[in-house]
Amino acid sequence: MKDALRTGLVGIIAMALVIVTITWSAADEIPACRLVPTGVSVITRLDDATPSLVRALMERIGEIVPVGAPFDPTDVVRIGKSRRLIFIWNRGTRWVVATEHGGLTYNLPVFAFEIDRDDEKAILVQQETAGFPNEVCSTASSLLVIGYPPYIRTAPPKDGTRP
């Protein structure tokens, strides 16, 4: 009888530990980028990004919490926010946004946008998902150099200079 009670108690404790571990699981530690590509501005707050980018991003994926802020990395909803900013890179008209996405399958989507010269429209050029936390920077780097649709280009300025 004592052994059965002891076995049952051990089973309950083990199940409680599993539940606590699942509930308290956190997002992956995203390492800082050791090398930021030449000519890239690093932005860590959505408030510092161009308004058309923020609008386009929010329309596409919803609210994003700031870098390092609490969010729901798993499907256990405690905060009610499942997206977190990792960083924003900008070079010219190209903006690359790296995020964390919590849920049933935690993932690391990275988005590339082109912004028109007048900052009126941001167009999603491509979206990739980094396979592992240490791949976020290389994924973002690759999105800096892909081509963009010709319809985003605007007419050159009247003075003949190029964008």
Q: Give the rounded percent of residues in the chain with a pLDDT score beyond 70.
A: 72
CA 123/CA 85 separation, integer angstroms: 19
> Is 82 within 8 Å of 102 (Cβ atoms)?
yes
Range of the domain at 132: 30-152
Closest CA to 106 of 74, 133, 137: 74
**pLDDT band at 118; cut points 50, 70, 90:** confident
Q: 159 lies in a domain?
A: no
CA 123/CA 149 separation, integer angstroms: 9
Q: 39 lies in a domain?
A: yes
pLDDT of residue 27: 62
**pLDDT band at 117; cut points 50, 70, 90:** confident
**pLDDT band at 77; cut points 50, 70, 90:** very high
Which two three-digit tokens encode residue 145?
Answer: 């150099």
> Is 136 within 8 Å of 111 (Cβ atoms)?
no
Q: 157 lies in a domain?
A: no
Q: 110 lies in a domain?
A: yes
Which two three-digit tokens encode residue 139?
Answer: 């994924």
Q: 119 lies in a domain?
A: yes
Q: 10 lies in a domain?
A: no
Q: 135 lies in a domain?
A: yes
Higher pLDDT, 56 or 16: 56
pLDDT of residue 68: 93
Q: How many domains does the chain have?
A: 1
Helix extents (H) in 1-160: 2-23, 51-61, 136-145
pLDDT of residue 133: 93
Reported as type and span, the H/E element at residue 110 is strand 108-115
Q: 147 lies in a domain?
A: yes
Output the CA torsion sign for 121, 127, 133, 136.
negative
**pLDDT band at 13; cut points 50, 70, 90:** low
> Is 27 within 8 Å of 86 (Cβ atoms)?
no
